[in-house]
Amino acid sequence: MKILIRNIRSLLQTQQEGVDKVCGADMSVLPAIDNAYLFIDGGLVKGMGRMEDFAGSGFTKYAGHSDVHEIDAAGKIVMPAFCDAHTHIVYAGSREIEYIDKIRGLSYEEIAKRGGGILNSARKLQNTSEAELTEQAISRLEEIQSLGTGAVEIKSGYGLTTGSEMKMLRTIRKLKELSPLTIKATFLGAHAVPDEYKHRQQAYVQLIIDEMIPRVAGEGLADYVDVFCDRGFFTAEETGRILEAAAKYGLQPKIHANELDFSGGIQTGVKHNALSVDHLEFTGEEEIKALLGSQTMPTLLPGAAFFLEMDYPPARKMIDGGLPVALASDYNPGSSPSGNMQLILSLACIKMKMMPEEVIHAATLNGAYAMGVEKELGSISTGKKANLIITTPVPSYAFLPYAYGSNKVEKMIINGRPC
């Protein structure tokens, strides 16, 4: 299918080939073409430029052609679809009861201690069939797609037995077939210690290492491995052992780190060549130093900090110190029951003082990097996949995070097809 988009108010994130992430001060510069055209063919971006140069371009021959779908984007922005590099979209039911407890004053950890939290979702998931899980997840995927997401990473971690973790990962494999979105799967057996292993955490870690990882890897069900490395969950030492075992099967880490404390998770992630370390509410000078010498993407999840009323990660310190930053939704039933990346952008601006240019980089190219798809997605570059947002008419790109709460996505193009 061929698509020609004309009169685009501003075509955002038009990166040169080969730029795989944006760091530090570079995040405040957003490459863009105003009054632009864009040509898409066979699912890929084939060319772009300024409208005044269109007549002299090789693309004029497609204008008015019967097999070219033409879109007039006057007044609208076209940009890469969001790459949401951290979600838990496969889950059973919901946990609004805990939400009520939270309003009454209980903390995330107190709720978890009472059998709520991740273990509550694990119980629900164990009694839910793969078909039902798939159906629930598909409707969440359709929702986030309508809000601008074009690629998403999905974790297991509500199974917590070998069978149920495999069930979650098979569900994600099914979603890869059914959904037009680009999806990556992450094995998160070390999300919490299940009831059966209460007071026997070491035995559960051993089960992950000896049984879960070999079976998951044996069936090729996961792209990455994750551990919830935090106070009350898994220690840095346990995390290191799990990551070492996963590395033998070629599974690169993307870990939950420093959400609840200075857990050592960031340093452990960096040491094990993590693709990303995520959350990072507890990040100081030491952690920033460790990240600066690495290829690991710090990935911030302001939806979780908002929902749990925690202090936000120090995004300004990170960016001003030269680090790249990615933003993701953490869409899950306990700490962030929303996959709305537009809302994440607004939260990042207001609560972490990131600038509109920075949040757009963080949710597109840096998000793509954090899920290992930066070669094919995350920017408008010739040869990359055409996963794009066409916005409603907006005065400028700063309007996107500014007008929080309304959907500014008018149309999505996924794999070069309007939807």
Q: Which residue lies nearer to Fe ion by CB, 13 or 276?
A: 276
Binding segment for Fe ion among 109-117, 282-290, 329-337, 346-354 (CB under 5 A)? Answer: 329-337
Q: Which residue lies nearer to ligand NIG by CB, 335 or 379?
A: 335
Q: Smallest distance, Å, CB 72 to ligand NIG?
A: 41
Q: Does 330 bind Fe ion (CB under 5 A)?
A: yes
Q: Smallest distance, Å, CB 275 to ligand NIG?
A: 16
State the binding partner of 339 from Fe ion, ligand NIG, none, CB within 5 to 8 A by kind: none
- Residues engaged in binding ligand NIG (CB under 6 A): 88, 117-118, 121, 228, 256, 259, 304, 330, 332-335
N residues, the chain: 419
**Distance between CA 96 and CA 92 in Å, rounded?**
13
CA distances from 218 to 97, 197, 214, 272 (A): 38, 24, 6, 21
> Which spans in 5-89 are helix H?
none
**Residue 354: Cβ within 10 Å count:** 27
Taken in order 326, 411, 35, 416, is the CA torsion positive or negative?
positive
Q: Smallest distance, Å, CB 88 to Fe ion?
A: 6
> For ligand NIG, which residue has the nearest CB?
334
Q: Which residue lies nearer to ligand NIG by CB, 122 or 360?
A: 122
Q: Does 98 bind Fe ion (CB under 5 A)?
A: no
Q: Smallest distance, Å, CB 304 to Fe ion?
A: 7
* Helix H or strand E segment including 238: helix 236-247
**Distance between CA 101 and CA 115 in Å, rounded?**
13
Place of tokens 């057996």: 189
- Check if the beta carbon of residue 36 is closer than 8 Å to that of residue 50: yes
Residues whose CB is less than 8 angstroms from the CB of residue 156 and which lie 6 or more positions away in sequence, other chains included: 90, 165, 168, 169, 172, 185, 186, 187, 188, 189, 191, 222
Q: Which residue lies nearer to ligand NIG by CB, 310 or 380?
A: 310
Q: Smallest distance, Å, CB 414 to ligand NIG?
A: 26
State the binding partner of 334 from Fe ion, ligand NIG, none, CB within 5 to 8 A by kind: ligand NIG
Nearest Cα residue to 227 out of 164, 276, 184, 262: 276
State the binding partner of 346 from ligand NIG, Fe ion, none, CB within 5 to 8 A by kind: none
Size of the site for Fe ion (CB under 5 A): 1
Strand partners, 391: 409
Q: Smallest distance, Å, CB 244 to Fe ion?
A: 22
Q: Catalog residues that contact Fe ion under the rule CB under 5 A.
A: 330
